[in-house]
A and B are shown apart, each in its own frame.
Chain A
Amino acid sequence: MTKSLHGTPRSSTILWATLLLATFLTWSMGALGETGRWGVAALAVISFWKGAVIILDFMALRHAPLLWRAITMGWMIVVWAVIAIAYIKGLAQ
């Protein structure tokens, strides 16, 4: 059976609630003064996952031709990799 490109109200509501929960988690990490490379690594992983939900589910690229999915997800991978490299470079100072 085929299904909608944009998911169901139920699936998108669950994703939205999970995104809000992840936002609360990262906000509380900041509020508690969570620092250090592991805190930053966790923050980056959570933020990457949130971006992936937007790209794959909200932008509906999960059902797009592979090339478009690869370009957009690839963009996010490169951006976070550059941020990580710069962060590590900063730690070495």
Chain B
Amino acid sequence: METSTTTLSASPAQAHVHAGPRLAGDLAIWFFILAELLAFGVFFAAYAFTRANNIELFNAEQAALNRNAGALNTVLLLTASYFVVRAVQAAEREASRQCANWLVGAILTGFGFIVVKLGEYAAAFEHNISLSSSPFHMFYLSLTFFHFMHVILGLVILIAMWNGARQGRYRPGDMNGLETGAAYWHMVDLVWLILFPLVYVIH
């Protein structure tokens, strides 16, 4: 039988465990995330309904996209998110060095996304694809570039988190900065998990 004395003997490493509902990270980042989700949601709806009125054009031009590069980028973002989770878990164990190492993994996989995406853009520009070449290309370029800018900001945040982890700034009871940055990065991943099937696959 559990008793209320359990919490009295908790070690510092256990002090952060949640007794009730708790939002991970700063409240302000969650309002920012909601604003971002709303903006992407409007973009997705605009794409879906424009496609509904131009099915043949969208299907033909979507077929020319590099779906393998898109899938690889999904793997890279999912892996980066997983590494961020492991970094947070390491900080909970007061393992700052491991936390920093997991964040290096997340930064490298995040950069991998950037490299793959730049390769995709280079190929598109070689084929004279631009914002004005067709409604599909307008959406493809603007949606993916809007997301691309979020990945870059996410990488800047991850580098700041890595710097904090190296200095041992995150520990149980002092996780706010790490959890706040992690929430932003996961949002970038979440948006891609809708963007990729919507723009690259569904036809």
Contacts and interface: CB of A to CB of B under 8 A. Distances in A.
Contact of A83 (B44, B89, B200): B44
Contact of B81 (A47, A58, A72, A78): A58
Contacts of B190: 51, 54-55, 59, 76
Interface string B72-114: 0011001101101110110010000000000000000000000
B22 A5 contact: yes
A6 B92 contact: yes
Interface of A: 1-9, 12-13, 15-16, 19-20, 23, 26-27, 29-31, 35, 40, 43-44, 47, 50-51, 54-55, 57-61, 63-66, 68, 71-72, 75-76, 78-80, 82-83, 85-87, 89-90, 93
Interface of B: 2, 6, 14, 16-19, 21-24, 30, 34, 37-38, 41, 44-45, 48-49, 51-53, 55, 67-68, 71, 74-75, 78-79, 81-82, 84-86, 88-89, 92, 179, 182-183, 186-187, 189-190, 193-194, 197-198, 200-203
6 closest A-B pairs by beta carbon, nearest first, are A86-B48, A90-B52, A16-B82, A27-B71, A60-B24, A2-B17
Given A23-B78, A47-B194, A59-B182, 20 more contacts: A2-B18, A4-B17, A4-B89, A6-B92, A7-B89, A9-B89, A16-B78, A20-B75, A20-B78, A20-B79, A23-B71, A35-B203, A43-B201, A50-B193, A54-B81, A79-B194, A83-B198, A86-B49, A90-B53, A93-B52
27 contacts: A2-B17, A4-B16, A5-B18, A5-B22, A16-B82, A19-B78, A19-B82, A23-B75, A23-B78, A30-B201, A35-B203, A40-B202, A43-B201, A47-B193, A54-B189, A54-B193, A58-B186, A58-B189, A59-B182, A60-B179, A61-B24, A63-B18, A64-B21, A64-B22, A68-B30, A82-B45, A83-B44
